[in-house]
């Protein structure tokens, strides 16, 4: 065992190691997601065409667009899940999303954790509701993955690219 490995081991044993940004995010997610239950993955189109008056404008995906699309998708999904309570009482799903792009090597997609569903919510309808909300967002591809969260492994998975240099990947 090298000297550096011994030093690191001693620091961990004595509790002197400063937690990383990734560890802090992983600890914080379960605190803000009430009744953490659903994991979704949404994929984005790389480019699309928008009509601007008489002109067609090519739009290419960027992080700013991803953030606005995620906010719009959340609003649409909240309206579908909470119905009038979203508008009248401000009830909404709690959500944390992380942008993943393989540091530029993969197609951009978004992993999210959703919680705080209504008590009488029918989870069989969730796939249809997510498909409806994403169909109203032009920038989203129709490829989605929806699963029930069984343990903290999902939070570890979605934060694999999060670091202090890439903290803007987390959408609170």
Residue 20 lies inside a defined structural domain of this protein: no
Cα separations (Å) of 92 from 77, 86, 106, 118? 9, 6, 31, 9
Residue 157 lies inside a defined structural domain of this protein: yes
Per-residue pLDDT of the chain (172 residues), as tens digits, is 578 778 777 877 787 777 788 888 888 888 888 666 799 999 999 988 888 888 999 999 988 899 999 999 999 999 999 999 999 999 999 999 999 987 777 888 999 999 999 989 999 999 999 999 999 998 998 888 999 888 778 888 998 888 877 777 888 7
Residue 42 lies inside a defined structural domain of this protein: yes
Cα separations (Å) of 73 from 28, 48, 54, 104? 23, 17, 27, 24
Range of the domain at 86: 29-171
Residue 5 lies inside a defined structural domain of this protein: no
Residue 87 lies inside a defined structural domain of this protein: yes
| Rounded distance between C-alpha atoms, residue 28 and residue 83, angstroms | 28
Tell me how many domains the chain contains.
1
Residue 99 lies inside a defined structural domain of this protein: yes
Residue 11 lies inside a defined structural domain of this protein: no
CATH of the domain at 50: 3.30.70
Residue 19 lies inside a defined structural domain of this protein: no
């Amino acid at each position: 065992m090298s000297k550096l490995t011994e030093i690191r081991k001693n620091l961990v044993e004595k509790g002197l190691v400063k937690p990383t940004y990734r560890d802090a995010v992983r600890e914080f997610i379960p605190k803000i997601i009430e009744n953490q239950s659903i994991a979704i993955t949404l994929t984005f189109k790389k480019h699309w065409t928008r009509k601007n008056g008489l002109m067609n404008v090519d739009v290419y995906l960027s992080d700013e667009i991803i953030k606005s699309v995620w906010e719009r998708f959340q609003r649409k999904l909240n309206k579908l899940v909470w119905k009038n309570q979203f508008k009248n009482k401000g009830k909404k799903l709690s959500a944390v999303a992380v942008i993943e792009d393989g540091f530029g090597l993969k197609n951009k997609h978004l992993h999210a954790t959703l919680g705080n569903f209504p008590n009488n919510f029918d989870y069989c309808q969730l796939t249809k509701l997510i498909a409806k909300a994403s169909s109203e967002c032009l920038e989203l591809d129709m490829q989605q993955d929806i699963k029930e969260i069984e343990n903290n492994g999902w939070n570890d998975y979605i934060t694999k690219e999060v670091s202090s240099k890439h903290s803007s990947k987390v959408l609170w």
